[in-house]
Amino acid sequence: MSLLLSLALLGLAGHSVGQGIPDRGFPDCQDGPLKNNTVCDTTADPLERARALISLFTVEEKLNNTGSVSPGVPRLGVPPYQWWQEALHGVASSPGVNFSTNGDFSYATSFPQPILMGAAFDDELIREVASIVSTEARAFNNDGRAGLDFWTPNINPFRDPRWGRGQETPGEDPFHISSYVHALIDGLQGGYDPKYKKIVATCKHFAGYDMESWNGNYRYQWDAHISQQDLKDYYTPGFQSCARDSNVGAIMCTYNALNGVPTCADPWLLGDLLRDHWGWTNEQQWVTSDCDSLQNIYLPHEFASTRPEAAAKALLAGTDLDCGTYYQHHLPKAYAQGLFNESVLDQALIRQYSSLIRLGYFDGDAVPYRSLGWSDVNTGNAQQLAYKAAVEGITLLKNDGLLPLQVSSNMSIAVIGGWGNATEQMQGNYYGVAPYLHSPYYAAQQLGATVYLHTVPGGQGDPTTNSWLTVWGDVEKSDLIIYADGIDNSVELEGMDRNSVAWTGAQLDMIGELASYGKPMVVLQMGGGQIDSAPIANNENISALIWGGYPGQDGGVALLDIITGKAAPAGRLPLTQYPAEYIAQVPMTDMSIRPDESTGSPGRTYQWYTGTPTYEFGHGLHYTNFSASFSSGSSPSSYGSSSGSSSHSIQDLVGNCHEHYQDKCLFRTFDVDIQNTGSIASDYSALAFLTGTHGPKPYPNKRLVAYRRLHDLTAGSTSTAHLNLTLGSLSRADNKGNSVLYPGDYALLIDTQPLAMLNFTLTGQEAIIDLWPQPPEPTYQTSDYFVGGYGSTYGEDVLINGTV
């Protein structure tokens, strides 16, 4: 979405259907025109209630209510409704969210960006955060300051480090995303099938959206070419988790096309896969377009020969709501031309209003969430959780023993770099107004030390040394140098991908000269996408390197608490830190995950990358040491086949599985005892990777199949991580996208530098446990500029070269 521009346009947008800005009032089921309609009968089935309501709408009223700014139906007492709210990591500024300029409702809790919360590898934390967000969202709604549906989360896997919006995601791993989002939706929606949904979440962007603007390829016209194998293995597990396993209320289709078809007009994607295969068929579940991805079906995708045809194709494919006005403008003509019939329109509206019914929109004070108010926003608990989420995610990449470092009030600290006094920077994108924003500089001052601040160089864009001369004297006087810099939303941004994953020359020059003083020095690498910190890792004069992501409202305090040991680091990189040259080895347009000798691609993510990362996925140091062992209950002899060996018959596993979706059947719970063998209390995230030789070559390096964060292991203590592996986690996708259990050898590894390993085998014949629906043969290719990347040609485009 183009959030900033859309905000600017909102004043006009309300007028678009002659209704002014939605007043966010609720329908009056006590005295309004609908009071005797079934929609106001709280005992009736939500679907019946919605049908009863929509049956009262004229065709024109139905057509009017297909956009994100819906006028409602005044004659029926159905108020206007703004569907577009954002809440990526807290209630966020967006067309439907209205922060007060001061006093009550002038701010909301601002948690870290998902990329840093992903680093916590702590689903319970995510559930708690999401619960706070939905509580605050409901409070805003009750004050008429927000709607009830929110267009979050962004769960496209962080495929390429250049992606400007990767910061919005939990990281690069599909299992991690699936597990994370399952907890998140529980917290946002108030359970997986509550009577009243707390809010409606929207999993986006379905599917294959993970590029903004790269070398002439723009998200609005990009056609992502993705194999069914990669689609199943990598690009869609998070959406399966949302739709099939978490009962999410909404899904957003994308700007890009997928294998030739704009996703919002793709009956296979929105029908065969999403609704039919994943069973996402509750009446309350709807698909919204991205803003305004319906327009770009016509241009630049040129997927329809007329504008009404583009709108009709989207509606028929199953896009129920248009973020924008393309439906409202063009569906009437399409309807007049007979391009769709009224029942399709009814279905879209029934889905929308069923969703509002499940949110209690028509039910007045019967909805328990109606009592939430300003006192439920920014509570002490919420503040503490925002701090905790930052601490849990912050990741220690390098430590020569300097950390933890006791800071006394007679010390002097030089805080240098573009992030030194970060405020809004700490929120990344899609943020709201925070109650406070505590920078590293602020936090250093709280320690009672003398702190010298120099915010140079000013990020990645600025090489000017105008203020550098003032730095050196203060560095001379300091006992500790904290260099806080990296990237931020000036270089990784919606609409803008990066073209470098290196620190700049000016940054490295500053870092190098600071290091030459030989003083204790800590570098804070900030921002979502990684930058290659090899020059820092290799510099012996730099004691420690910490990745801080976008740590949110209390991020500076969290960072300093980790430096001083008030908190112990246990975050893990949720993405690969590639060497800087990686981005020259694979164009961003190459969607393949696997390495490819023919193109020279070294592969993507820790699962397939054939090079040596600077820091690998899952890397994260602690202030203590841990050992791990599979507990007796997990020993090879006590589980597996009926013979008691570590060998398992595939046919037995499948035969004993009675789930409709066989990949959900439990294979085994592995209990892993984790002992803190050092002297400092610390969390520990047990990451379990599967590797081995099974199925066709090439094999992935390894793949995450389970994780669990253990909290506050005191020195010497042991805690047990219960790790569930399903049949799905053993399976791999074949080239048709089917999930297959393959006979062969398997090894389960605990941690990136394994602390424990357990081997087992599967025997018998390979078996499909999930039959992937096959798309129709491509009959159409959208017009693209640089399909294929660096060496490719500029496609023919009749409209660009012809006439409009």
Binding segment for a copy of itself (CB under 8 A), chosen from 441-449, 508-516, 715-723, 754-762, is: 508-516
Return the residues of window 431-470 that contact a copy of itself according to CB under 8 A.
Answer: 456, 458, 461-470
Return the residues of window 256-275 that contact a copy of itself according to CB under 8 A.
Answer: none
Return the residues of window 79-108 that contact a copy of itself according to CB under 8 A.
Answer: 95
Count Cβ neighbours within 10 Å for each residue of 730-741 and write b for 16 or more, e otherwise.
bbbbbeebbbbb
Closer residue to a copy of itself, CB minimum distance, 110 or 217:
217
3-state secondary structure of 97: strand
Smallest gap from residue 794 Cβ to a copy of itself (A): 3
Out of 66, 70, 256, 325, name the contact with a copy of itself by CB under 8 A: 325
Smallest gap from residue 332 Cβ to a copy of itself (A): 11
Q: Closest by alpha carbon to 226, among 614, 664, 725, 733?
A: 733
Q: Closest by alpha carbon to 780, among 270, 258, 313, 269?
A: 258
* Alpha helices (H) along 541-643: 555-564, 605-608
User: Are 122 and 392 spatial neighbours (Cβ–Cβ below 8 Å)?
Assistant: yes
Does residue 602 belong to the site contacting a copy of itself (CB under 8 A)?
no
Out of 55, 371, 538, 610, name the contact with a copy of itself by CB under 8 A: 538
Closer residue to a copy of itself, CB minimum distance, 271 or 535:
535
Return the residues of window 200-219 that contact a copy of itself according to CB under 8 A.
Answer: 213-218
Task: Please give the positions annotated as active site.
Answer: 290
User: Are 481 and 517 spatial neighbours (Cβ–Cβ below 8 Å)?
Assistant: yes
- Residues 742 and 726: their CA atoms lie apart, in Å, by 14
Does residue 508 belong to the site contacting a copy of itself (CB under 8 A)?
yes
Out of 21, 405, 411, 534, name the contact with a copy of itself by CB under 8 A: 534
Residue 73 in tokens: 């139906």
Out of 144, 194, 505, 655, name the contact with a copy of itself by CB under 8 A: 505
Does residue 515 belong to the site contacting a copy of itself (CB under 8 A)?
yes
Out of 499, 632, 656, 679, name the contact with a copy of itself by CB under 8 A: 499
Closer residue to a copy of itself, CB minimum distance, 500 or 724:
500
Return the residues of window 8-27 that contact a copy of itself according to CB under 8 A.
Answer: 8-10, 12-13, 15-17
Return the residues of window 611-650 that contact a copy of itself according to CB under 8 A.
Answer: none
Smallest gap from residue 10 Cβ to a copy of itself (A): 7
Smallest gap from residue 339 Cβ to a copy of itself (A): 18
Residue 51 in tokens: 């049908």
Smallest gap from residue 296 Cβ to a copy of itself (A): 5
- Residues 285 and 355: their CA atoms lie apart, in Å, by 7
Smallest gap from residue 463 Cβ to a copy of itself (A): 5
Does residue 512 belong to the site contacting a copy of itself (CB under 8 A)?
yes
Q: How many residues does the chain have?
A: 804
Out of 250, 583, 674, 688, name the contact with a copy of itself by CB under 8 A: 583
Smallest gap from residue 151 Cβ to a copy of itself (A): 13
> What secondary structure letter does DSSP report for 666?
E
User: Are 119 and 572 spatial neighbours (Cβ–Cβ below 8 Å)?
Assistant: yes
Does residue 1 belong to the site contacting a copy of itself (CB under 8 A)?
yes
Residue 319 in tokens: 């896009």
Residue with tokens 């019967």: 366
Closer residue to a copy of itself, CB minimum distance, 584 or 697:
584
Does residue 509 belong to the site contacting a copy of itself (CB under 8 A)?
yes
Closer residue to a copy of itself, CB minimum distance, 248 or 475:
475
Total residues interacting with a copy of itself, rule: CB under 8 A: 94
Q: What are phi and psi of 273, to 5 degrees?
A: -85, -60
From residue 129, alpha-carbon distances to 123, 389, 425, 433 in Å are 10, 8, 20, 17
- Residues 309 and 292: their CA atoms lie apart, in Å, by 16
Does residue 793 belong to the site contacting a copy of itself (CB under 8 A)?
yes
DSSP string over 113-127: PHHHHHTT--HHHHH
Return the residues of window 334-373 that contact a copy of itself according to CB under 8 A.
Answer: none
Does residue 579 belong to the site contacting a copy of itself (CB under 8 A)?
yes
Instruction: Label the pairing between strands 69-70 and 81-82.
Output: antiparallel
Amino acid identity for residue 255 in this structure: Y
Out of 338, 410, 584, 697, name the contact with a copy of itself by CB under 8 A: 584
What residues form DSSP beta bridges with 699?
Answer: none
- Residues 677 and 305: their CA atoms lie apart, in Å, by 68
Out of 135, 285, 585, 601, name the contact with a copy of itself by CB under 8 A: 585
Give the torsion through C-alpha atoms of 456, 457, 462, 463, to 10 deg.
120
3-state secondary structure of 142: helix
SS (H, E, C) 504-547: CHHHHHHHHHHHCCCCCEEEEEECCCCCECHHHHCCCCCCEEEE
Binding segment for a copy of itself (CB under 8 A), chosen from 24-32, 106-114, 405-413, 581-589, is: 581-589
- Residues 569 and 548: their CA atoms lie apart, in Å, by 11
Share of the chain residues as helix, strand and coil, in percent rounded to the nearest 5: 30, 20, 50
Does residue 804 belong to the site contacting a copy of itself (CB under 8 A)?
yes
Does residue 794 belong to the site contacting a copy of itself (CB under 8 A)?
yes
Closer residue to a copy of itself, CB minimum distance, 291 or 672:
291
Closer residue to a copy of itself, CB minimum distance, 213 or 647:
213
Smallest gap from residue 786 Cβ to a copy of itself (A): 7
